[in-house]
Structure 1
Amino acid sequence: MSMEVIVASVNPVKVNAARNGFNRCFPGLQIQCIGAPTESGVASQPLTDDETLQGALNRVQAAREVHPSADYWVSFEGGVDRIRSQLFAVAWVAVGHRDDISYARSAALPLPQAVVEMMDQGMELGEANDRLFGTQNSKQQTGAIGLLTRDLLSRESLYADTLILALTRFTLPEVRT
């Protein structure tokens, strides 16, 4: 048996995270993850938890409209949120299935002051990380979490784990979340 999952992005980190999460939740099924470019409808660098979640929800809806026959639609939206005086990198994962939607938030990663200062000047998180660490296009690789944890965690692993949290609504329907 197979399952078609539309990932609301062509970023290979996000497509691989979707494949990883779905394979772990649905062992034995043939999972086909297809990346589809979508717009978030929010700023390219979401600056609050609410804006980041809204971007994830918008992307799932956009993917659903373009590929209505898929089994699932999934989006990963990274952003930042300021809690008290600390800026954190966060991600929201939204999953659509039939006419239902579920979502979950990742762990929050405290950002170093040097990154915060660059972001306060209007730079996006990925660009600030690349400048601080001397990398290129880190958001399509290990991301801030990989850079700041010395690759103990990665953007892909964080997204896959958060996807599993969002999928509980569908993998355990008897205990609706």
Structure 2
Amino acid sequence: MSIRVAIASGNPVKRRATLEAVRVALGHDDVEAIVVDVDSGVPDQPVGDEETLRGARNRVDAARTVLPEADFWVGLEGGVLERDGNLECMAWIVVLGRCGPDAQLTRGESRTATFALPSEIADLVRRGVELGEATDAIMGGKDTKSSTGTVGPLTGGVIDRVAYYAHAMVLALVPFRNAGLSFPPAPEPAAGSAN
């Protein structure tokens, strides 16, 4: 039986990371990924944990409104944060779905690892340039946002954006992989969330 996953982004990297994680974490090969184009409700370049997580949550809530018949709704939001004078890259992953014997609406969340951005990229981002564009300008790439991401060229291709997101996505799927255990129910969408 096919699982329908609504992915709240048209970015092909986010789609591939979601498919890979759902297949590995939940053991389902028959996954129908449905791209739902929704607004995150946050700036194109979110700054800080709170804003980035809010964007991922907003995407999930909006995707659920657009495609209520899906089995899972997924929001991935990449962001940056300042720490000890460094600008670091990270992303939040939010998964919403029903699990457990009572099919309770549950939300799983996880954040990727972080890594420091070189000053050349960080300075552009601090001046308002989106991370993908800044990476392309400094590293000589083209549309890295939809392919390797910033992590790709900075790790020499050891980790690309799909692997970077998929790891955190597997962790966000923990409640659904362990449906026999109790996890808190998902809260109702916050007032003013994007939809």
Q: Same fold (TM over 0.5)?
A: yes
- Partners of 2:31 and 2:54 lie apart in 1 by 26
TM-fit CA distance, 1:29: 4.4
Map 1:51-70 → 2, pairs under 5 A: 51-70=51-70
Map 1:96-111 → 2, pairs under 5 A: 96-98=96-98, 99-111=105-117
> Residue 159 of structure 1 aligns with which residue?
165
> Residue 141 of structure 1 aligns with which residue?
147
Map 1:118-137 → 2, pairs under 5 A: 118-137=124-143
Please give the secondary structure, in 1, of the residue aligned with 2:110: strand
- Partners of 2:127 and 2:183 lie apart in 1 by 43
Please give the secondary structure, in 1, of the residue aligned with 2:75: strand
> Residue 176 of structure 1 aligns with which residue?
183
Q: Which amino acid aligns with 2:22?
A: F
Q: TM-score, normalised by structure 1?
A: 0.96
Q: TM-score, normalised by structure 2?
A: 0.87
Q: Percent identity?
A: 38
Q: Which amino acid aligns with 2:135?
A: N
TM-fit CA distance, 1:135: 1.1
TM-fit CA distance, 1:65: 0.2
Does the 8 A contact of 2:106 with 2:175 survive in 1? no
- Partners of 1:124 and 1:93 lie apart in 2 by 19
- Partners of 1:101 and 1:122 lie apart in 2 by 32
Does the 8 A contact of 2:26 with 2:176 survive in 1? no
Following TM superposition, the consecutive aligned residue runs of length 4 or more in structure 1 with deviations greater than 4 angstroms are none
Gaps of 5+ in 1: none
> Residue 22 of structure 1 aligns with which residue?
22
Root-mean-square deviation (CA, aligned residues, Å) is: 1.2
Greater helix share, structure number: 1
> Residue 86 of structure 2 aligns with which residue?
86
TM-fit CA distance, 1:117: 1.0
Q: Structure with the greater relative contact order (CA < 8 A, sep ≥ 6): 1 or 2?
A: 2
Q: Which amino acid aligns with 1:91?
A: A
- Partners of 1:28 and 1:70 lie apart in 2 by 15
Q: Which amino acid aligns with 1:70?
A: A
Please give the secondary structure, in 2, of the residue aligned with 1:143: coil
Q: Structure 1 residues 28 and 127, CA, compared in 2 at 3 Å: closer, same or farther?
A: closer
Residue by residue, what CA displacement relative to the aligned partner does 1:34-55 show, whole Å, maximum 9, x if unpaired? 1111100001100111100000
Moved more, 80-89 or 51-60: 80-89
